[in-house]
Structure 1
Amino acid sequence: MGTTGTAAGTAVITFTDSELDPYVTHAPTRRWLTGPGLPGVGGLLTFDALRADGLRTVGDSTGEPDGGMAAGLSEQLVIGGLAGSGGPRGESVLLDGSTGEITTTYFLHDRPHLMDRRPLAPSLETLVRFATAADELAALRGQFAAYAGRYGPEAVAQASAQLLALYEAGAHGEVPPFWRLIAVIRPLALIAGPGTRSDLALDLPPRLLDDEFGSRAVVRFEDVDFPSALTHEPTRRFLAEVGLPEECVWFALDTDAPLPTLADHHADDGHTRLPAEAAHLIRLGALSDGVSLVLDGTTGAVLTWSGEASALRPLNADVSTLAVTLWLIHRAKTLDADHDLTEAYDQLAATLTRTLATLDPLACARTPAAAREDYGRCYWPSVFADEADGGLRSAV
C-alpha cells in the first residue's frame, strides 16, 4: 500500500495490483485504488483504517470468517468509516471487491448474525465525488463557493437543490438515505449568518420563527417581563423583537408570569442547592426531565440547571443560537414528510448534530461531567441520539 501527498491525515491512499489480490477483482475498482485512490480523512468519511490494517474482510475482523452472519457479508472489505458516527463503535464503510458496491455496517462482535448492510454508493468514484461535494458545501468552496456570505431560506433551498441534484444524477435517482440526509439537512447551516446587526452570535432572517412555528406560537416579551438582573441588552432586544417559540419538543417556555430569576423560582424550596450566581440567572423555561433552561443576565449565555444533579452547564451560546436550534429541530419535521429522514435514524441524529455544530459550536461541545445525572452535558446531541426514548421521532 502506498500514499501520496504531504499533509498528515490527508495523504491519498493507493494500492499496487499485487496488494489488491485476491481481495478486489472488480476492474474499475482496481483502477481507482491503483490510480486516484482514497483520501485518508474528510469531513464525512475516514479511510485511515486502511493505513493501520490494510485490506481485511468483515469475517476476519469479527473472527467469523466462515459464517455466522448474513450471506455475503463476511467477504466484504472494511475500508473506512463514517466520521463522527460514534468513535470506535461507529459505522464502518465496506467495499464489495467483486462488484465495487459501497455499503455500511455496524460491527456487532458478540452478535454477528444481527449485522446487516446499508447502501452508500455504487462505486468508489461516486463515493469520493459525493463526499467531496458535501465537504465543499461545508467549507463553502469549490462548486459551493458562491454561497459564501449568503444566508437565509433562499440560500438553504438553492444549496439543497444543487446538492440533491448532484446526488440523484450520481445514484441514478436512487439516493441512499445517508446522502439524502446530507443534501436536505446540511444546507440548513446557511439559514443564519454572523451577528453583525444583533450583537449576538447569529443574525436571524426576518420572521424566521413566525414562518416556521406560526406567529401565534412565538412569544415576544415586554420590558415588564424582564427582571432587573437581565442587563444584557442584545438579549433583551432579541426576546422583545424576535421572541422564542412557546414549545418545541424538549423545550417549553415559561409564559404564566414575568420571567423569574432562578433564585426567585426556587424561593419556596429550601431543599434545592442553587448556584452562587442564582440571583443573576433568569429562568426561561424547562427542558425534558425537569431541567431548567436559564439565561445569564449579564452575558446572555444560555445554560441548563438541574437541581437533582446540582449542575449548571452550557447549552447554547445565546438566545439567537437557541432559537436557531429550535428552528432546526422543527424544520426536520417538515423535511421528514418529503424525505423520510427517520429511515436512517442514527445518521439523521449525526447529521443534525454536525449542522448544529456549524451554527453553534458550543451547543455540541462536550463539557466535564459534574455529576452522574448531568443533563446539561452536551444536551442537544444526546437527545438527538436517544432513539430509545423517542429522540428525534418526537420531533419528526
Structure 2
Amino acid sequence: MSTTRSTTGTTTITTITFTEDQLDPYVTHAPTRRWLTGPGLPGLPGDGGLLTFEALRTDGLRTVADSTGDPGGRLAAELRDRLVIGGILGADGRSRESVLLDGMTGEISTTYFLHDRLDLMDTRPLAPSLERLVRCATAVDELAALRGQFASYAGRLGPKAVEEATRQLLAVFEESAEGDAAKEDADAVKGGDGDRSGLFWKLAAVIRPLALVAGPGTRSGLALDLPVRLLDEEFGPGEVVRFEDVDFPKALTHAPTRDFLREVGLPEEAVWFSLETDMPLQTLAEYGADDRGGVRTEHRLPAEADRLIRLGHLLEDTSLVVDGTTGAVLTWSEPDLALRPLNADISTLAFTLWLIRRERALDAVHELTAAYDQLADAMSRTLAAVDPVACDPTPNPTIPTDDGLRYWPGMFEDEAGGGLCA
C-alpha cells in the first residue's frame, strides 16, 4: 500500500493505492483491482469529512474475521471474508460504522462491530462499487465545504438554495453510467428493490443542504440571519409568538436578542420545546422564587440566575434560558442542577427548531428514520455546520457544571424515545 499527496488549487488530496501483489488473495474483482492499482485511477481518498480509510493505513487489508478473531465461529459466513477498509465518520469526527469491501464482487457495505455478540453482526449495502462510493462521498464533502461542484453556493442562502443543492446532490447520486454495475447503482440510490444504500445517500441529499437556509449574521447582530418569515412558513403564522418590550425583564439587555424576539419570534410549540406564554418572561431567579406547587427552588439555582431569562422548557424538567447580557442560549437541568450550553444564541436556536420541524416533514415523505442512526448523525452534522456550540462536547470552562453533554445530539439519537420519528 502507498499514500500519495497532490495539490489542486488550495486543496491537498491524499490517495491510497495498492500493488497487485498486495491485493492478493483478498481482492479478485477485476474492476476493483483496477481502481486500486491501475494507472490514472484515483484509488481511495485518504482524508474526507464523510468517510475515513485510516484503517488501511494502520492495519492494511484485513478481513472481518481477522479483526474480531471470531472465537467460536459466530460470524455469519457472508461477513467473514469481507475486508475492513474504513469507516463512516460521525458528527464527532470518530468512526462509528465500519465500511466493508467484498473482494469478489466489489460491493461496499457497512457494519457495526459487536465484539461481545458477533452472531448479531449484520451488513447494510452502501454502494455497488468503490468508484460510486468515492464519487458520492466526494459530492457530500464538497457540499459541506462549498467547494468543487458546490462552490457556487457560497453566499447563496434561503429555501431556494436548499432546494437547488438538494436537486444537484441527488443528481450526482442518480447519475447514470454505462454497464450493469451502473444500473444496479442507480437502483440502489433510488432505494429500489429494498436496498437501503439509497436511503443513506438520500438522507444526505435532503438533510445536509438544509444548512444553506440561513447565513452568517450581518444585519441582525446574531450568529445567523434567517430568511424573512422562515418560521411562519414552517410552523404557521399563528404558531409563532412575537414579544413586546413589556414582556422583557430588565435583565435582558442584549439588544440583538430583544430585537429577534420582538421581530422574528419563536414557535410556541416545537417538538421538544414549549415557549413560556402565560406571563411576561422571567429571570430564572424569579421563576425559582415562585411557589410552584409548594416547592420553592431558588436556593438550588445557579449563581447567574438573576441574568438568565427563562424562555420556556424542554423535556425532563429542563428550562431553556438565554443569558440576558451575552445572548447565549443554555439549559438549566433541575434534576442534576447543571447549566449547559444549548445554542450559540437565539438565531441558532430558531434554526434548530426549524431544522427539526423540516426533518419531520421530510421523514413523512421519504421514511428517513428507516436508517435512524445515519439520520441522527446527518442532523447533528447539519446543526454543527450552522452552530458548532450546539454539538461540541468540549466542556465550557466558564460554566462549572458543563460536563460536555449536549441536548440536541442526544435527542436526535434517542430513537427509543421517539426522537426524530414523524
The one-letter amino acid paired with 1:228 is: K
- 1:209-266 deviations in Å (ceiling 9; x for gaps): 0110111111111111111111111111100111001111111111100000000001
Residue 289 and residue 261 in structure 1: after superposition, are their counterparts in 2 closer, same or farther (change >3 A)? same
Match of 1:380 in 2: 408
Q: For 1:29 and 1:376, how far apart are their aligned partners in 2?
A: 43
Shift in Å at residue 85 of structure 1?
A: 6.3
Q: For 1:11 and 1:65, how far apart are their aligned partners in 2?
A: 36
Match of 2:186 in 1: 172
- 1:81-131 deviations in Å (ceiling 9; x for gaps): 001267777100000000100010001111111111111111001111001
The one-letter amino acid paired with 1:209 is: L
TM-score using structure 1 length: 0.95
Match of 2:321 in 1: 294
Indicate if the aligned counterparts of 1:312 and 1:376 stay in contact, CA closer than 8 A: no
Match of 2:146 in 1: 140
Match of 1:336 in 2: 363
Which 5+ residue runs of structure 1 have no aligned equivalent? none
SS in 2 for 1:366: coil
The one-letter amino acid paired with 2:3 is: T
Shift in Å at residue 64 of structure 1?
A: 2.0
- 1:250-285 deviations in Å (ceiling 9; x for gaps): 111111000000000011315642222211110000
Match of 2:192 in 1: none
SS in 1 for 2:289: coil
Q: For 1:376 and 1:326, how far apart are their aligned partners in 2?
A: 21
Match of 1:23 in 2: 26
**Given the alignment, which residue of 284, 292, 299 partners 2:311?**
284
Which structure 2 residues correspond to residues 153-168 of structure 1 after superposition, within 5 A? 153-168=159-174
Shift in Å at residue 390 of structure 1?
A: 2.0
The answer as to 2:55 corresponding to 1:32 is no
Shift in Å at residue 378 of structure 1?
A: 1.3
Shift in Å at residue 62 of structure 1?
A: 1.4
Shift in Å at residue 374 of structure 1?
A: 6.8
Moved more, 341-350 or 83-92: 83-92
Q: For 2:45 and 2:335, how far apart are their aligned partners in 1?
A: 47
The answer as to 2:209 corresponding to 1:206 is no
Indicate if the aligned counterparts of 2:157 and 2:215 stay in contact, CA closer than 8 A: yes
Indicate if the aligned counterparts of 1:260 and 1:282 stay in contact, CA closer than 8 A: yes
Residue 6 and residue 302 in structure 1: after superposition, are their counterparts in 2 closer, same or farther (change >3 A)? same
**Given the alignment, which residue of 157, 161, 166 partners 1:151?**
157
Match of 2:70 in 1: 64
Shift in Å at residue 9 of structure 1?
A: 9.7
Q: For 2:404 and 2:339, how far apart are their aligned partners in 1?
A: 7
Indicate if the aligned counterparts of 1:9 and 1:40 stay in contact, CA closer than 8 A: no
Q: For 1:325 and 1:318, how far apart are their aligned partners in 2?
A: 11
Which 5+ residue runs of structure 2 have no aligned equivalent? 177-184, 190-197, 291-295
TM-score using structure 2 length: 0.89
Q: For 1:65 and 1:275, how far apart are their aligned partners in 2?
A: 52
**Given the alignment, which residue of 27, 50, 57 partners 1:44?**
50
Indicate if the aligned counterparts of 2:109 and 2:127 stay in contact, CA closer than 8 A: yes
How many residue pairs are counted as aligned between the two chains?
394
Indicate if the aligned counterparts of 1:311 and 1:376 stay in contact, CA closer than 8 A: no
